Amino acid sequence: SWLKPPTPKITNKTKQNKTKKAQAARGASARSRAEPSRRLFARARAMDPGQLAQLEGYCNALYNAKSEAERAQAHSTLLPLVGNPQCMPQLQFVLAHTSNPHALIFSAHGLLKLITSHWTSVSDNQKEEMRNFLFDYLAKNGPDLYRSAPMGVSPVVRLLCRVIKLAWLEGPQYQNVTERVGQFLQSSPLHWVLGLEIYTDLTTDMQPSIGPSMSRFRRTALSFRDTALPTIFTIGIKTLHEVSTGAINIPDKNDERRLLKQVLQLACNSLSFDFMGTIPDETSDEQSTVMVPHSWNMLREDGIQKVFFDLFSRSCNYQWSECAQLCLQCLVLLAALRRSFFQKEEDRTKLLASMMQGTTGILASKMGLQDHGCYHDLCRLLGKINATHQLNELCASEQFQVWIEQVYSFTMDSLRHWEVMPNSKHYLLGFWAAMVSPVILLQDKAPKALESYIQQITLAYVESRLFMAEASANPSNTPDWDDPLTDEVLRAEQLEVLSNLGRCRYQDTAQYIMKHFEEVSRLGQQRAVPQAVFENKMTWIVYMMGALVGGHASAKANRADTDCAPTHVVNGELAGRIFRLVNLTDQQDVCSEGLELAYLYFLEQFRKVYIGEHAKQVVQQQVSERLATVLGLEDENAVLGLLINKIGKNMQQRYGCESVVKKTLALFHELAAGINIVHTSDRSPHLIVSGRLLLKNDMVKYILSNHASPQFGFLGFGLHYGKYRTMYYHTLGKLLFMDIRDSKDAFEKFMEPQSHILNTLWQQSCQGPQLLRQESCKGPLIGLCRDLRGIGLACTSCEPYAMLFDWLVDNPKNPAGSRVTLFSRALDVWWDDPEVTTPLLKFMSEFVYNKAQRITFDQSSPNGILLFREASTILVTYGTRILQRTQFRDLYVEKYKGIGITLDMFSHALHGNYTNFGVFELYSDSSLSKSMALALQMCLAIPLQELNAYLKALKPYYYFLELATRGHMPKVMELEPHMLTTLLQSVEEGLLCFESGVTMQCCATVDNVISYFHSQMHSKSQNRTTAEQERVRRFLNEAPQCLQKILHLMFQLVMTGEFSSTWSISRPLLGLVLLHEQYFMQLKEQLVGSQIEERRAKLRGYFDDLMSGVENNLSTKNKDHFTRNLYNFAQVVRTLS
């Protein structure tokens, strides 16, 4: 019975016909006003002791079940409580009355979920009472909970913090958090810890994050940063000083550890707060620069770093590893303080000296380094010190010599024990890699030992990779470290470090790696090592050779080793060994995926240096031995041939490895697309078009002639290889059009395999579209769409596109009889299968896209209209059905992805500039009106929350709205006012988006709407009101607050400096001010009133200057004048804060 939600009694005296939900909400609100003295939690729906005990039993079973069946039953029973907002009173009652820790955790988690999802349905009284209850509950029960059930404290604290966060912007009464928590800090040690935990969780929860209500939470975070965070951080630092100096004496060491951990976590959270509201990438634990406000003077005080080093030492002595790690994490953040924070350079120099002295002490004593967390954070700290200071600044410190020796010894020792915390060593290696460029640049001015240190570390690193290769090849070994050979991101990081380290003494490092190459080759031929060990070691060596060649491309010319052999000779020796090994392994049927990927990595680095953007050696005449000579080849075309042959072999033989196919096609595309201007020794420019070089190659000629041959097995390997078909035909299309130019016969010949498939499917569709709904048709249809999209991507000018258009629209005088209609017929029967719809819609989106003005038809040609009508048919066919569907297994794949691509296609058709849209209405053709209405319905079918969640796929939503409001406002105004309001609410949310393209489109959309409204309201009709004018007036009467909210938001963005383009936001803002002049005056008074007394007159003057000289019209001249005023307003208004 306690699971049944309560039915609220309605006490409102109203006769309006509202929904039951609205009546319940009003009833609750009325009761709360009528009973101000009764507390929310006392009013919560009561349970008798038996019901409460029953719920506590289920909670025990949920968190501590004896069997899976028991847990499943408890889960199914309790789940309704956390999914229904009407169950909040039950959870509140449990929280207030239970003594069971599991029931406490469950009720706190449930309430957290419910108030986050349904905050808008919570009344103001409920918010205030919930907040007060949680503060009182923690003050009364918190210390006892810490002693008896410490795991029950955090959920209640998190619930309180979430209530504070959600209510923060709703009034100053919700922002007095420091006053309430201050009472905890003046009580017992456990109350102190509890107060600090509230602050710690609050600073964590206040961090803005990507997701629903992102823009609102970002504004909350910035307000919290300016009001409460400085006080909170000051309390944290003051407490740390008192603990460090012994001013706080806590007899119980366990309580002291708990307090120290909490205050350190608070300091760490405060320093790592997202001060700029940029929402950085959460996948990285690195914050490049800590942008603390200039007013945080406590960080400039002498000895702030010493406090953390002293606390680190103290924590290590007591073996409080968590506290020691937090000390180092805080030091990492202090090392990353922005340079402009320090008013004097000597303050920054003191910080560096203190950091060097402290880390030198830790490295010399090895204090705490047996703990993996401390070891990792020390590596981060060393890397951060180096990253935030230039080499000459480091060298200027008295501590430098001792410090650099300690770091070198620590690094070498770490590389000898490579298997211990291998990922942490990335920071150490990055430390030395970052020193290579300044050492090369400074030459003799750099410390003498540095170059030797870097070289020794490079060689030790190479050795450690080979040891790692051998260990990872052992099947009985179960390492607790990630193998870079199977982790592409980790591998890329390590190879980038090696490519930088190798630039210091390039030839010596290359010779060292080649020596290992010869040794591993010899052992492999003699079968002296297991095959797995040979493959792993050789894979690493090939990767390292590639990293050297690629790093050398960006090396400085004035290196210390220029008297050695020319680098192109060294690179030739490296490449020669790789190509010989490739020939050997290509003769084997079985391949090593890792080794094949290593080959492709080397070839990509080789391409960058010799064929791509750094391709100076291709035309370098002044060297006695050219690269081709070193490789034993005739000329550079033969060098290119080695790469192409490997690409061809992979597509024919290695298609079983998806990663190999992907990398191979990417390399092929780069070679085909490369165009570079390279200067020879006599400074004459040479245009290197690597695509033209490819056309001379026999393998490329063979591929172009037999592109659909079964030899290229990846084409038919499976539907999941479809995206590779697109890339393959994109590359071939580039080469084809480069070769044949506008030869239709050559194009027809190339397209014969696709023609065969197209004709077969077309004939089946003519007999009956349902015949296409067969599995035998599915694969060829998807393949055809993928192939044609690739060809379409390669059509970058008029001639290639015209050939593709004529090939598809083969009967323009009878559009219904053209082969292009196959796609709308196929969509009609396959609309519910995203495996078909996604590639089909993507092809059509590309086909109607007029990029680089490639679609140009004769003046007398109907082709533009035919093209738009086909796009319209596709949209109506798909949109009609997808809007009727209600059940989805995967909402993104089956619905939103398709809608996003469809809107993208329709936007391309609307913006193509090849269709006269007036023709449709003139000749009573409903194509435009139907497709426009349906596209708007598709936009309305996307809830705002889902729009934010799937923004990447749904960006075309905003592009379409801009185009629709720009040229088709009469069609948009046919929507009901509440529908238009929904669209404008999404535009309001889009103004706060981090995608600059989206924000610009939202500004343009608002400008389009306002300009249309203005023109209709000021149009001089002949004593009659048109339908368009009536719709505008109806909307403004029924939903005036919609545009007013946008006006308010735009002024907030301008005054806080959070919008990047003043010009873009000024255009709609002027229209909004003129449309809602009275509201603008109210807003001005509200903003002026929110300032302190001495700033009000200034801000009022700024507003007067903003509207100075602005007329009541939207002419370009008036808009430009307002833009200049707004720019000046934005500049001066920020000086107030």
Q: Are 777 and 827 in contact (CB under 8 A)?
A: no
927's tokens: 């194509």
CA–CA separation, 824 and 815 (whole Å): 12
Which secondary structure element, helix H or strand E, spans residue 686, and what is its range? Answer: strand 685-689
Q: What is the pTM of this model?
A: 0.78
Task: Report the pLDDT value the prediction gives residue 674, as an integer from 0 to 100.
Answer: 67
CA–CA separation, 1025 and 303 (whole Å): 76
What is the chain's alpha carbon radius of gyration, rounded to the nearest angstrom? Answer: 35
Q: Which of 117, 107, 104, 200 is closest to 148 using CA atoms?
A: 104
Exposed/middle/buried for 233, CB within 10 Å: 0-12, 13-18, 19+? Answer: buried
Q: Are 483 and 422 in contact (CB under 8 A)?
A: no
Please, what sign has the CA dihedral across residues 794, 797, 799, 803? positive
- Residue ranges, the chain, pLDDT below 50: 1-44, 283, 556-562, 613-625, 677-684, 686-687
CA–CA separation, 540 and 510 (whole Å): 14
Please, what sign has the CA dihedral across residues 847, 853, 859, 865? positive
Q: Which residues, 6 or more positions from 19, have their beta carbon under 8 angstroms from its beta carbon?
A: none
1125's tokens: 């005023």
747's tokens: 């194009």
CA–CA separation, 725 and 713 (whole Å): 11
Task: Report the pLDDT value the prediction gives residue 636, as an integer from 0 to 100.
Answer: 63
Q: Which residues, 6 or more positions from 1059, have their beta carbon under 8 angstroms from its beta carbon?
A: 991, 999, 1050, 1053, 1065
862's tokens: 């109907």
SS3 1091: coil
CA–CA separation, 505 and 88 (whole Å): 68
CA–CA separation, 288 and 963 (whole Å): 39
Q: Which of 700-705's residues contact partners 24+ apart within 8 Å by CB, and which partners?
A: 700/644, 700/735, 702/648, 703/648, 703/651, 703/732, 704/732, 704/735, 704/736, 704/739, 704/750
CA–CA separation, 167 and 216 (whole Å): 11
CA–CA separation, 1131 and 1137 (whole Å): 12
Count the neighbouring beta carbons within 10 Å of the beta carbon of residue 913: 10
From residue 1105, give the alpha-carbon distance in Å to each of 546, 1030, 1061, 1108, 1124: 62, 35, 20, 5, 11
Amino acid identity at 856: T
475's tokens: 């099947």
SS3 994: coil
Count the neighbouring beta carbons within 10 Å of the beta carbon of residue 327: 28
Exposed/middle/buried for 843, CB within 10 Å: 0-12, 13-18, 19+? Answer: buried
Count the neighbouring beta carbons within 10 Å of the beta carbon of residue 918: 9
Q: Are 48 and 68 in contact (CB under 8 A)?
A: no
Which residue intervals of 228-371 are DSSP H helices? Answer: 229-245, 253-271, 304-317, 321-335, 345-365
Count the neighbouring beta carbons within 10 Å of the beta carbon of residue 206: 23
Task: Report the pLDDT value the prediction gives residue 798, as an integer from 0 to 100.
Answer: 93
Count the neighbouring beta carbons within 10 Å of the beta carbon of residue 691: 18
Task: Report the pLDDT value the prediction gives residue 933, as an integer from 0 to 100.
Answer: 95
SS3 679: strand
CA–CA separation, 1074 and 1107 (whole Å): 10
Q: Which residues, 6 or more positions from 284, have their beta carbon under 8 angstroms from its beta carbon?
A: none
Task: Report the pLDDT value the prediction gives residue 722, as an integer from 0 to 100.
Answer: 84
SS3 290: strand
CA–CA separation, 1058 and 276 (whole Å): 9
Q: Are 1112 and 1071 in contact (CB under 8 A)?
A: no
963's tokens: 């185009």
Pairing relation of β-strands 685-689 and 675-679? antiparallel
Q: Are 378 and 362 in contact (CB under 8 A)?
A: yes
Task: Report the pLDDT value the prediction gives residue 696, as an integer from 0 to 100.
Answer: 83
Task: Report the pLDDT value the prediction gives residue 564, as an integer from 0 to 100.
Answer: 62
Find the farthest-apart pair of alpha carbons in the chain and give their distance in angstroms, rounded.
101
CA–CA separation, 219 and 210 (whole Å): 13
Q: Are 92 and 41 in contact (CB under 8 A)?
A: yes
Nearest 10 degrees: CA dihedral of 943, 946, 948, 951? -110
Distance spanning both ends of the chain, measured CA to CA: 56
Task: Report the pLDDT value the prediction gives residue 621, as an integer from 0 to 100.
Answer: 37
Task: Report the pLDDT value the prediction gives residue 36, as an integer from 0 to 100.
Answer: 30
CA–CA separation, 599 and 543 (whole Å): 8
Q: Which of 414, 430, 418 is closest to 363 using CA atoms?
A: 414
Task: Report the pLDDT value the prediction gives residue 616, as an integer from 0 to 100.
Answer: 44
Phi, psi of 689 (to 5 degrees): -100, 100
Count the neighbouring beta carbons within 10 Å of the beta carbon of residue 1058: 16
Task: Report the pLDDT value the prediction gives residue 64, as an integer from 0 to 100.
Answer: 81
SS3 388: coil
Q: Are 818 and 810 in contact (CB under 8 A)?
A: yes
Q: What is the DSSP letter of 698?
A: H
Amino acid identity at 1045: K
CA–CA separation, 814 and 811 (whole Å): 6
